[in-house]
């Protein structure tokens, strides 16, 4: 499925609202990156309360390894290897793993996206990729802002 | 009295009266701005240059702290405090002497932090990407290190028996702090795994250069980030069990440092840092993050806890001021630069305010008669303050509307992650541009990193010989003022400086 097909499917399925045409998911609580943790990986009361619920988060899709993906990493700021900041890939502590229902296309890592999905917490290792995550959004859809 | 004398006297009193009349008659004489400027003028008239010897030098470097960054940060700081932002003053704006610094390097119009820091601490311009070497060294050519090393004022100070310190919120092996002790043709060689075959050609990694630094009895204070560059790949990081050190050469550099200093203390978190008694500690080594320390905005959420730049500054001065011979200290706010690279003005401004707090803490501790305090930046960024926003408009807010009928923000970047790739710019109508995570819009899409800029940066100073900072000067003049003020040039040297 290319990105346009995904967008169409998502729109038909009501997963992917387009700003101005579909009302925002008013009932879906939004969760900011800075509302995830009190300190380290100690979750805030708000984050704990949203466990298992559908939430919206706004962030950036970190550059994935392949063009079509069924998961991506959502970051607070665009994730890239800044020539004067990082001599190696240094992942931030507050990234969120986003798992999609179906394969989706990649957006540029500097495009702001709003992601909606079921909020899960707790360490989990993906058996296929070996990727260890602590905070996840499951069955996500996203819209580009 | 002769007629002539009488006439002259009468004329003189008439002149005085008319001058007084003219001044009293000025309609603006009681205007608040007029009076404020008169008071400022009087302070300058009363100023007396200090030509005494500087016992101590503190060089504050706001990495990437361009002049618009200072302006925006003072407004940001004032507005956060609920006072008038435009007339607010950051602590270092009170420093009496100012010059502009020309930051071009031996081979570039626009600099990176490696040669600019080298210029400030050694007195010469050199090529981009190189640290602690002269113009004769070639970037990435390790064979050109030997024979082209230049001596930093920190090396001079150590050899002369003074104490030294280096503090940064970036990795302590990053270009600016590395300039105090390292000599390399590639700033990226921070640990041995990055050196690889270059080791055979004469390059040594920067972390190892810090621990093996031969000058005097070594830095009394080292505080910053970059822990992984000192740890083995088999060692798990204390803040994250799944993250390992970077070194492959079998050298546990933290252990090596501890073995070197019987009077030393190594710390990696805020609690350990707070527990350090400067009176009982000869050498202090603090590495608070695997990579860079947190932005000040995010610091409170750090797992292990990190001291603020002001707290590190205070501790460093308490450690170093035990030395009756004096000290030389560099304090870098290293992440103003990184936030700009990310196109995120909020964090750049907050880290500038953190620098202001650090300078304030230092000024409260030192004797300004014998301590030269300098605040400067290494280079600028493509960051601007635009439009015609009203007084007291939020500095992170909307300035106006473009011809495309979309709002634009006061703060923006010429290039960087805030530009869309082959798409129209976003409509900010319903966007909270004051959110800490908002990226200001940019013109040219450079997703990986906004760039430095080539405009001059400020030098502000107080203390002995600070009045030498005037006009528009070459960046490497900073070293020469420090050397003049400390009379470092006349100190006995065990080895001659490289050319």
Q: What is the ipTM of this complex?
A: 0.77
Q: pLDDT at residue B230 above 60?
A: yes
CA distance A131 to chain B (A): 11
Q: Could you tell me the pLDDT band of residue A26, with boundaries at 50, 70 and 90?
A: low
Best to test chain B binding among A17, A47, A85 (most B CBs inside 10 Å): A85
Measured between CA atoms, the residue of chain B closest to residue A144 is B426
Measured distance CA(A36)–CA(A96) in Å, rounded: 10
Note if B113 is an active site residue: yes
A85, A87, A90: residue with CB nearest B341 = A85
Q: Count the Cβ atoms, other than its own, within 10 Å of residue A63.
A: 16
What is the model's pTM? 0.89
Higher pLDDT, B492 or B35: B35
Q: pLDDT at residue B440 above 50?
A: yes
Q: Could you tell me the pLDDT band of residue A79, with boundaries at 50, 70 and 90?
A: confident
From the number of C-beta atoms within 10 Å of its C-beta (0-12, 13-18, 19+), residue B299 rates as buried
Question: Residue A39 and residue B342: Cβ atoms within 8 Å?
Answer: no
Q: Could you tell me the pLDDT band of residue B172, with boundaries at 50, 70 and 90?
A: very high
CA distance A12 to chain B (A): 25
Give the pLDDT mean for B141-155. 97
Length of chain B: 499
Q: Which chain B residues touch A90 with a CB distance below 8 Å?
A: 290-291
Give the pLDDT mean for B168-197. 95
Mean pLDDT score across all residues of chain A: 76
CA distance A39 to chain B (A): 4
Measured distance CA(B62)–CA(B85) in Å, rounded: 20
Number of A to B CB contacts under 8 A, please give it.
81
Give yes or no for a contact between B457 and B101, defined as CB atoms under 8 angstroms apart: yes
CA nearest A42: which of A94, A116, A99, A110?
A: A94
Establish how many alpha carbons lie within 13 A of residue B324's alpha carbon, considering only the half-sphere containing its beta carbon. 0
């Amino acid at each position: 499925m290319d990105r346009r097909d995904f967008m169409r499917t998502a729109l038909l399925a009501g997963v992917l609202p387009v700003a101005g045409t579909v009302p925002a998911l008013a009932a879906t609580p939004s969760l900011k990156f800075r509302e995830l943790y009190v300190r380290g990986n100690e979750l805030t009361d708000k984050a704990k309360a949203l466990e298992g619920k559908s939430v919206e988060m706004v962030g950036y899709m970190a550059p994935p390894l392949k063009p079509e993906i069924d998961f991506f990493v959502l970051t607070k700021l665009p994730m890239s290897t800044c020539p004067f900041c990082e001599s190696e890939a240094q992942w931030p502590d507050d990234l969120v793993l986003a798992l999609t229902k179906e394969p989706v296309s990649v957006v540029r890592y500097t495009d702001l996206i709003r992601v909606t999905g079921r909020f899960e917490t707790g360490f989990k290792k993906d058996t296929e990729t070996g990727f260890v995550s602590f905070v996840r959004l499951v069955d996500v859809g996203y819209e580009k802002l | 009295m002769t007629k002539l004398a009488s006439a002259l006297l009468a004329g003189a009193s008439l002149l005085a009266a008319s001058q007084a009349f003219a001044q009293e008659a000025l309609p603006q004489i009681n205007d608040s701005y007029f009076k404020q400027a008169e008071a400022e003028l009087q302070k300058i008239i009363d100023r007396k240059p200090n030509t005494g010897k500087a016992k101590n030098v503190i060089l504050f470097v706001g990495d990437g702290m361009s002049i618009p960054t200072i302006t925006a940060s003072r407004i940001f700081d004032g507005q956060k405090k609920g006072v008038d932002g435009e007339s607010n003053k950051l602590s270092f704006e009170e420093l009496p002497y100012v010059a502009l610094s020309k930051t071009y390097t031996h081979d570039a119009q626009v600099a990176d932090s490696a040669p600019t820091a080298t210029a400030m601490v050694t007195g010469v311009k050199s090529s981009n990407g190189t640290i602690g070497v002269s113009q004769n060294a070639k970037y990435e050519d390790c064979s050109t290190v030997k024979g082209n090393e230049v001596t930093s004022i920190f090396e001079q100070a150590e050899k002369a028996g003074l104490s030294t310190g280096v503090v940064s919120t970036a990795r302590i092996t990053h270009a600016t702090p590395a300039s105090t002790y390292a000599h390399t043709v590639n700033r990226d060689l921070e640990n041995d795994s990055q050196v690889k075959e270059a080791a055979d050609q004469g390059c040594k990694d920067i972390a190892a250069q810090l621990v093996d630094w031969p000058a005097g009895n070594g830095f009394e204070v080292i505080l910053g980030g970059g822990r992984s560059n000192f740890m083995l790949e088999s060692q798990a990081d204390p803040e994250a069990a799944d993250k390992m050190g970077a070194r492959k050469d079998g050298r546990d550099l933290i252990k090596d440092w501890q073995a070197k200093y019987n009077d030393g203390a190594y710390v990696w978190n805020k609690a350990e840092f707070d527990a350090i008694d400067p009176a009982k500690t000869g050498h202090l080594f603090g590495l608070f993050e695997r990579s860079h320390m947190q932005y000040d905005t995010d610091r409170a959420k750090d797992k292990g806890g990190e001291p603020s730049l002001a707290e590190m500054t205070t501790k460093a001065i308490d450690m170093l001021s035990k030395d009756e011979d004096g000290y030389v200290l560099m304090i870098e706010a290293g992440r103003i630069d990184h936030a700009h690279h990310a196109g995120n003005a909020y964090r750049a401004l907050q880290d500038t305010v953190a620098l202001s707090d650090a300078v304030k803490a230092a000024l409260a501790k030192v004797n300004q008669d014998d301590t030269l305090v300098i605040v400067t930046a290494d280079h600028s960024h493509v960051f601007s303050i635009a439009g015609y926003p009203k007084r007291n408009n939020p500095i992170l807010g909307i300035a106006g509307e473009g011809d495309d009928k979309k709002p634009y923000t006061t703060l923006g970047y010429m290039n960087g992650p805030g530009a869309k790739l082959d798409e129209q710019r976003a409509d900010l109508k319903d966007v909270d541009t004051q959110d800490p995570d908002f990226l200001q819009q940019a013109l040219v899409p450079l997703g990986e990193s906004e760039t430095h800029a080539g405009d001059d940066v400020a030098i502000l100073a107080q203390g002995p010989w600070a009045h030498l900072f005037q006009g528009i000067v070459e960046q490497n003049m900073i070293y020469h003022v420090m050397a003049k003020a400390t009379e470092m040039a006349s100190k006995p040297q065990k080895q001659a400086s490289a050319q």
